[in-house]
Amino acid sequence: METVIITGGTGLIGTALTRLLLERGYKVIIYTRDPAKGTNKSVTYAAWDINNQTLDVTALQAADYVVHLAGANVGEKRWTAARKQEIIDSRTKSSDLLFKMMRSHPNKIKKVISASATGFYGEYTDHIFRETDTPATDYLGSTTLAWEKSILPVTTLNKKLVIFRTGICLSKDGGALKEFYKPLKFGFATVLGSGDQFISWIHLQDLVRLYFNAIVNDRLEGIYNAVAPNPVTHKELVLAMAHAAKGNSFITSYVPAFALKLALGEMSVEVLKSVKASSQKIQDTGFQFSYPTVKEAMEQIFKA
């Protein structure tokens, strides 16, 4: 039985990945600040402290793979200077800790699979971003670049590395879709800004399958966009959600860009940014998406 460590394992993606790994016979260890709060009896919880740069070395030495999902939620709070630094530190310092401990202690880890984000890319309506494109120079671009650079040193330890630049993950249990759905409870399909901004997205089940594929496919290595093959505009995504959840029983409403900027400050760029990222590289490895269109994804998510 092989063992997988997951950092950020109690979040939306980590919880779903844990479920799949357990179903497939893997042992799962989750690094957490407070192991006593772990609720899944099928999982081992091990302590780590990013700020003090300490972790349970025994857990690390038991692992065959590391899935690195840890990082403060980008959209959870207003982007104050302190919050922006926390977002960066939660990603880079956690990577630094993993590298330092893998370098200092004998272990059998074969591969590290790390999260990143399509925020790496700039904003061009007609350009389809590929993994070889240069990073944006804005906050999200510089943050994701620092995030990726912080985990790259594991390759010097003879470990394989996979990085997934993930788009908006669709699940009614959390993430952006949960927020998009809130006005729909009151009958409003709320479009942010003009609605013309493109969104690169992925169904949670497909994203979890990608992480699992990175574990079982020894040849998978490098950086991949973790996005479905068909990006859509924000308006198309919201209306697909509304139709799947409510049929035709909703009213389309708009929140102007200026109102978003007043309410969210700099963080408004996250919902107004237009990014079309290509899934071709991961598809060329043989991976097939279960939900390649947003219509299929929303119908599955909101099925009765």
User: Quick one: three-class SS letters along 86-130?
Assistant: HHHHHHHHHHHHHHHHHHHCCCCCCEEEEEEEHHHCCCCCCCEEC
**CATH fold of 3-169+200-229+276-290, please?**
Rossmann fold (3.40.50)
Of all helices (H) and strands (E), which one includes residue 189? strand 188-192
- Please state, in angstroms and as integers, the Cα–Cα distance from residue 158 to each residue in 111, 126, 215, 222, 292, following that order: 9, 39, 16, 14, 35
- Smallest CA-to-CA distance from 191 within 148, 234, 226 is with 234
Residue 274: left if φ>0, alpha if ψ -120 to 50, beta else—which one?
A: beta
Indicate the burial class of 288 (C-beta count within 10 angstroms; 0-12, 13-18, 19 or more).
Answer: exposed
pLDDT of residue 145: 97
pLDDT of residue 303: 87
Q: CA 78, CA 75: separation in Å to the nearest integer?
A: 8
- Count of CA atoms in the C-beta half-sphere (13 A) of 224: 25
Average pLDDT over residues 291-302: 97
pLDDT digits (tens, 9 = 90+) for 237-252: 999 999 999 999 999 9
CA dihedral 132, 137, 141, 142 (to 10 degrees): 110
Q: Which two tokens stand for residue 87?
A: 């977002």
CA angle 228, 233, 234 (to 5 degrees): 100
| Alpha-helix residue ranges (DSSP H) falling in the chain | 12-23, 57-62, 81-104, 139-151, 175-181, 204-216, 234-246, 257-264, 268-272, 280-283, 294-301
Radius of gyration of the chain (CA): 19
pLDDT digits (tens, 9 = 90+) for 97-150: 999 999 999 999 999 999 999 999 988 768 999 999 999 999 999 999 999 999
Average pLDDT over residues 20-27: 98
Would you say residue 164 has pLDDT above 90? yes
* Other CB atoms within 10 A of residue 171 CB: 19
- 218, 226 in Cβ contact below 8 A? no
Q: What is the pTM of this model?
A: 0.95
Classify the C-alpha dihedral 36-37-43-48 as positive or negative.
negative
